[in-house]
Structure 1
Amino acid sequence: MNPKKLVSLFLATLILILAGNAPAQAAPETNPLNLAAKSAFLMDVRTGRVMYAYNEEERIQPASLAKILTFDMALEALEKKQISLEDEVPVSEKAWRLSMDQGVSRMFIEVGDKVKLEDLLYGLMVSSGNDAAVALAEFLAGTEDDFVRQMNARVAQLGLTDTRFSNAHGLEAPDQYTTAKDMARLAQHLILNHPEGLKYTSSKQFVFNGIPQNNWNKLLFQDPRVNGLKTGHLASAGYHLVATAKEKEGETYLIGVVMGTASEDLRAREAERLLDWGFKNFSTVEVPPPALPATLPVYKGEQGTVPVKLQGDTLATVPREDTGKLKAAVELEELVVAPLPAGSQVGQVTITSSQGEPLKSVAVVTAGEVKRGGFFRVLWDSLRLLFRRL
């Protein structure tokens, strides 16, 4: 054999041997806390910053987490004054039969009774009553089937792309699923749009018909930071928990989700570990915004200026070591031309990290309307604009 070919063969063989003995490169750590759960998700309520995500898009039966949406839809109907907390809700046989099933959670309502709507909300979120869920669904939509159609329409509206419901309570059903990520997003929607709902989800006990019923969320009893939200359990899916928590000092407000743990105690422990990790490693801070002018000049308008304001907060969630290093800069439009509805965007404030990475943008908007000016004003300002652009 040609000596050059022998050398080439020897080198190729040596490379293969060395490559075979080289240690394999470790895969990226996706569950650094080694949580004993099928999936997990952690985010800040107000900034939406995701801090932890593990199998967050893995579909799983929601169990009683379905009641979060049932609750949200009831609160929206209250807000629109379509129903009242004092309404007396009739209990159907279908709802009553769930209250007789010792294998599921219930608030012990009786067929033919009329139960105050506010009691049903407590029964739904404290007792996790499946009977309460059906009674509410029937009251809000006529039938549970019609209510479920409304639930799935709301799911689509909220952009929860990996969630579908088949009933109002979450008991196992075909073609019913959700994810840790979608449940966190739903909880965020609930808190931001219906903060009054925490009155129910933070209650440690509810007494109905003389029967004391403790909240299934054990963290309410052992962690003062926790103020809600909902547990769930099915034999096929495991134990779920969506927990919301806020420290007394500071702006950090977390949603932690663990799905599919092996026991009731384990879901509380793992959720608390997740929340602890979030509070220890991240902080939500309000970044001082740059000074804005009180008004901006306006061309072709009835008036020559318009007041402006920030549309939103300047909160940002960052690793704790980066707090105090954030910057905010404003950029305003050079030419603002009428007509301008109130709330028209005329600039933005951008918050950046110490490395210059954009973290958040907040719109600068008009605080009032500016109507189009008269003929001579428009003509004069058109000339001014023409010369500015030359």
Structure 2
Amino acid sequence: MFFSLFTGFNRAEAEAALNVNADGAILIDAETGKVLYEKDADSVLGIASMTKMMSEYIFLEAIKNGDVKWDQEYSVSELVYKISQNRALSNVPLRADGKYTVQELYEAMVIYSANAATIALAEVIAGSETNFVKMMNDKAAELGLKDYKFVNSTGLNNKDYQGQHPQGTEASDENVMSARSVAGLALHLITDFPDVLTTASTPKKNFREGTDDEIKMENWNWMLPSLVYGYEGMDGLKTGTTDFAGYCFAGTALRDGKRYITVVQNAKDSNGNGSYKARFDETRRMMDYAFSNFSLEEIIPKNYQVKGNKTLPVLKGKEDKVKIHTESAINLVVAAGEKENYQPVLVLDKDKINKNGELTAPVKKGDKVGYLTIESKTGDKLSFVNDEGQKSIQVDVIAAEDVEKSNWFVLMMRGIGGFFGDLWSGVSSTVKGWF
């Protein structure tokens, strides 16, 4: 039904018909970060437990660097114990005198969005949640994100900490980001640490299985294929719900080798009411739109030569010009019929050519002489959630052959020929002037 809704539409019409019911929303290609749909994607809004994606990123980076070990044990702090006993929040209860492995806490954080477990990992990594929050904001800057503010590791309202919120923050403070930045964070997370999806796609798991403390954890991502709003290919990533943020979800799904990422913030139903179902319904609409309307296309082939710029002149070479072409292809996810809307743009390296646009021999096959990118014929700017995406539509332009430098005798004769040619041209012009 959804596919037929958009068949024959141009992209603008399809986007207008989509009109996701959320305060902020975005859909991106997970290969390049190209934005395929957006609605108020730069509005800075609450993110609730989508915050934990940053905590996951920093944790997995610590594991990768060897700063933290999976079997490392954690002794429960007063704050973590206090938070863990609040079952009104998403939590696995922890014993005051208990010891828990880092892996147990990580699984509780990713699968069950356990808040106390998240704070525990922040303490393992940074000594305190206060120090960890600084790491979160620093990492966001390092990743090139914009429009963000982290005040705790969990996404809880700071007031839920009952006076023990991270130092330097206020009880009224909240974690906020734009949909564009949330999508950028999600893209970094699954690109840099793809194994996170193995845990994030786990529908159910028992915490401390086989002990008196065993508790069933059901993934809050109810779009996982075996859960109530199951969606084919859905394997992540993070839900979030607070009174401040509303119903939020950063989702990702993979089908036939193509992956997309969606974000909704404060999603609502057709009656304007927020709910778990609303955030999954709006996500489903964006995912259906992506899988039905977009495909990966070769926009520029390998060894492509730009019309009118198939060669460059060469100074002091055995040949006076050299063929140039693209070193690789440019592939891009585009809507049906959109492929023809792009045109090549050649940018030559000013350090390689002189003021007359000439290369100087010798030129080696494979030497980079510039790059080629693409732009929309309609003037619309291609939008990506990160700088790496922009690089995906830029390929090197290289020399297709060798051009050796001429020997001194040939260069001398060319010079003499040029001198007499210029002389004859001057005499000819003078004589013509007499008549």
TM-score using structure 1 length: 0.73
Look up the match of 1:240: 248
Q: How many residues align?
A: 330
- Residue 98 of structure 1, CA deviation: 1.5
- Residue 237 of structure 1, CA deviation: 2.1
Q: Could you list the structure 1 runs, at least 4 aligned residues long, displaced by more than 4 angstroms after superposition.
A: 28-31, 308-311, 323-334, 343-346, 351-360
SS of the counterpart of 1:228? strand
SS of the counterpart of 1:65? helix
SS of the counterpart of 1:241? strand
Look up the match of 2:194: 195
Q: Does 1:289 align with 2:301?
A: yes
Q: Does 1:347 align with 2:370?
A: yes
Look up the match of 1:257: 263
In 1, the alpha carbon distance for the partners of 2:379 and 2:32 equals 18
* 239-248 vs 76-85, which moves further: 76-85
2:59 is matched by which residue type in structure 1? A
- Residue 278 of structure 1, CA deviation: 1.9
Instruction: Give a deviation string over 1:51-70, Cα, whole Å, max 9, x none.
Output: 11112122222110110000
Instruction: Say if 1:336 and 1:208 are closer, same or farther in 2 by CA, change over 3 A.
Output: farther
TM alignment of 1:1-390, pairs within 5 A:
32-173=17-158, 174-209=173-208, 210-220=214-224, 221=227, 222-248=230-256, 251-261=257-267, 262-287=274-299, 289-291=301-303, 314-323=330-339, 335=359, 346-351=369-374, 361-364=393-396
Look up the match of 2:3: none
- Residue 291 of structure 1, CA deviation: 2.7
The question of whether the paired residues in 2 share the 8 Å contact of 1:283 and 1:318 is answered with yes
**Unaligned residue ranges in structure 2 (runs of 5+):** 1-12, 159-172, 209-213, 268-273, 306-313, 316-324, 350-357, 383-391, 399-404, 419-435
- Residue 95 of structure 1, CA deviation: 1.2
Instruction: Say if 1:145 and 1:351 are closer, same or farther in 2 by CA, change over 3 A.
Output: same
In 2, the alpha carbon distance for the partners of 1:225 and 1:54 equals 24
SS of the counterpart of 2:238? strand
In 1, the alpha carbon distance for the partners of 2:291 and 2:360 equals 43
The question of whether the paired residues in 2 share the 8 Å contact of 1:283 and 1:323 is answered with no
In 2, the alpha carbon distance for the partners of 1:135 and 1:323 equals 49
The question of whether the paired residues in 1 share the 8 Å contact of 2:28 and 2:37 is answered with yes
Instruction: Say if 1:84 and 1:329 are closer, same or farther in 2 by CA, change over 3 A.
Output: same
In 1, the alpha carbon distance for the partners of 2:381 and 2:142 equals 28
In 2, the alpha carbon distance for the partners of 1:288 and 1:228 equals 32
Instruction: Give a deviation string over 1:143-174, Cα, whole Å, max 9, x none.
Output: 00000011111122223221101100011131
**Unaligned residue ranges in structure 1 (runs of 5+):** 1-27, 300-307, 367-376
TM-score using structure 2 length: 0.66
In 1, the alpha carbon distance for the partners of 2:205 and 2:20 equals 31
- Residue 335 of structure 1, CA deviation: 3.9
Instruction: Say if 1:31 and 1:354 are closer, same or farther in 2 by CA, change over 3 A.
Output: closer
SS of the counterpart of 1:219? coil
In 2, the alpha carbon distance for the partners of 1:30 and 1:118 equals 42
Look up the match of 2:432: none
- Residue 203 of structure 1, CA deviation: 1.3
2:148 is matched by which residue type in structure 1? T
The question of whether the paired residues in 2 share the 8 Å contact of 1:336 and 1:346 is answered with no
In 1, the alpha carbon distance for the partners of 2:231 and 2:55 equals 26
Instruction: Say if 1:282 and 1:309 are closer, same or farther in 2 by CA, change over 3 A.
Output: closer
Instruction: Give a deviation string over 1:5-24, Cα, whole Å, max 9, x none.
Output: xxxxxxxxxxxxxxxxxxxx
The question of whether the paired residues in 1 share the 8 Å contact of 2:46 and 2:265 is answered with no
